[in-house]
Amino acid sequence: MEKYQEWMRVARGEAPADLLITGARIINVYTGEILETSLAVHQGRFVGFGDYEAINTLELAGRHIAPGFIDAHVHLESSMASPSEFVKAVLPRGTTSVAADPHEIANVLGTEGIQYMLKASENQPMDLLFTLPSCVPATHMETAGARLEAADLAPFLYHPRILALAEMMNYPGVIFGDKGVLEKIREAHRRAKPVDGHAPGLSGKALNAYLSAGISSDHECTTAEEAMEKMRGGMHIMVREGTCAQNLDALLPALNEQTSRRMMWCTDDRHPHDLIHEGHMDDIIRRAIAEGIDPVMAIQMATLNPAEYFSLKDRGAIAPGKRADFVVIGDLEALHIEAVYVKGKRVAERGRLLADLLLPETPAPPESMKIKPEQLDFSLKAEGESIRVIDVVPGQVVTGSLVMAAAMEQGMAVADAARDLVKLAVVERYTGKAGCGIAFVRGLGIRDGALASTVGHDSHNLIVAGDSDEDMKTAAAAVIEMKGGMAVVSRGRVMASLPLAIAGLMSTAPMETIEEQMNALIREAKVLGCPLADPFMTLGFLSLPVIPSLKLTDRGLVDVDRFELVSVFTDTP
């Protein structure tokens, strides 16, 4: 109560403010205007427009200021860095809040993983807020490190930093009324939390059924037509621009003055290289402006829209009563971020956190790797002359489905580098049994080597791809020895590696070190012939059995369109 009295006393002009910002061009995301006036800040809040007496003055000489940016949907784990290192990367770029889904670490460690992320994100200089993983495991067709039911999730809905039920990927479970799935949705609604969606390509009556369960958003749209249909049904659309999946260009035709308030930006998954060199939310806004989107509208989609969607009533705009999270912008068109403020305090300038800003240390991670190298066997007995093949789509998490003639040696199905037919394996890493699914993929381009990683969405089992069983075993063994991580092997030698000690997903090293190691991995993958910009991001999504069309889990090949396991071998041309 005392704080409210103090804010109002200063707002009335009866006491000096902590800070008066003068000479600013204020981006008002409520009205779409750019206001030229002074702005008072006191005890972490904006308290009024106009001239005020103040203890300190910040003269901006015509620079713009905008609300701090909010990422509507992100997996911190995809940065491969600890929460503190993630903050170091994105806060100087103007991101002051994120709605993070700890789905990845929850699939590895269950509720212990959620608790770990909540603990590791405490006392940060920006707000790391969370949505609650809804699909652990994502499907019944894979083995995860945990199974989270409604009763396991319900206590977290009372946590002040839990904003919503996260992406409901099991859309068939929603559509056909799976009791466990609907109970999770009902628990979220009981706590007045929105339920984020995840329904790639869903349309017509199936979409109607999905919406009827109370799903509020979707970040999987790949066409403007899909986005429009979902918005007509009441959905909020999160326009994703990540490292692997980039949908901004495709969705721009759906963005206009009428639809913009139902749309917001998100990164979903961004690797260190993009975070360091391209940016975070600032990069998306900059790209949108370059495509002709009004700068104020683009900023509104990164501020007010996600704030209102998640009922973050204290932020998302520059106005009296709102938290004084804001960015100082030197050039609006180029979106050059000169300084970042959180609760009225400067925390970053010129792309760097202030030197005296202390970030929490990363807690020690629990053990998550239970495979032994001697358990590995990537041989596959030939059971037909034709095989189903996963077809990589560059820049997307969706994959195609092909039928090709099998390559065979001594009765075994093998890789055929000449046709870009690479063997793919997913090894379960949680029970100690090392169950393994084996299939083939086209589009990785690997010759004379193998890639291995414990970042394999969504269950994050060990995923290996290569043109020989021997190199696949060497790559997998290297990752097992690191207790999680990534490796590139060529002709029996480990050429590059990246340890990921936190659940096989994140490193304890600085993000610059992670980037160096990641760059070495990508360089070596390209030496093997891989044409993809980020082979490991693509590799990680080849085991995601909720994104069409064909994927591989530890239990086998998944036809996502039919949502069932299928044989690698087929008589169907």
All residues at 6 or more sequence positions from 259 whose CB lies less than 8 Å from its CB, including other chains: 228, 231
Could you identify the residue written with the tokens 């139902």?
Answer: 262
* Cα–Cα separations (whole angstroms), residue 215 to 178, 184, 399: 15, 12, 25
CA quadruple 224, 535, 80, 457: dihedral, nearest 10: 70
State how far the Cα of 56 lies from the Cα of 298, in Å rounded to an integer. Answer: 31
C-beta separation of 519 from 89 below 8 A: no
Residue whose C-alpha is closest to residue 339's, from 11, 21, 1: 21
Q: What is the DSSP letter of 419?
A: G
CATH number for the region 67-315 comes to: 3.20.20.140
pTM (2 d.p.): 0.91
pLDDT for 247 equals 94
pLDDT for 364 equals 86
pLDDT for 208 equals 98
Q: For each of the chain's 573 residues, which pLDDT tens digit applies? A: 689 999 999 999 999 999 999 999 999 999 999 999 999 999 999 999 999 999 999 999 999 999 999 999 999 999 999 999 999 999 999 999 999 999 999 999 999 999 999 999 999 999 999 999 999 987 789 999 999 999 999 999 999 999 999 999 889 899 999 999 999 999 999 999 999 999 989 999 999 999 999 999 999 999 999 999 999 999 999 999 998 788 999 999 999 999 999 999 999 989 899 999 999 999 999 999 999 999 999 999 999 999 999 999 999 999 999 999 999 999 999 999 999 999 999 999 999 999 888 899 888 888 899 999 999 999 999 999 999 999 999 877 889 999 999 999 999 999 999 999 999 999 999 999 999 999 999 999 999 999 999 999 889 999 999 999 999 999 999 999 999 999 999 999 999 999 999 999 999 999 999 999 999 999 999 999 999 988 998 999 999 887 889 999 999 999 998 889 999 999 876
**Amino acid symbol at 447:** R
Domain ranges in the chain with CATH number 3.20.20.140: 67-315
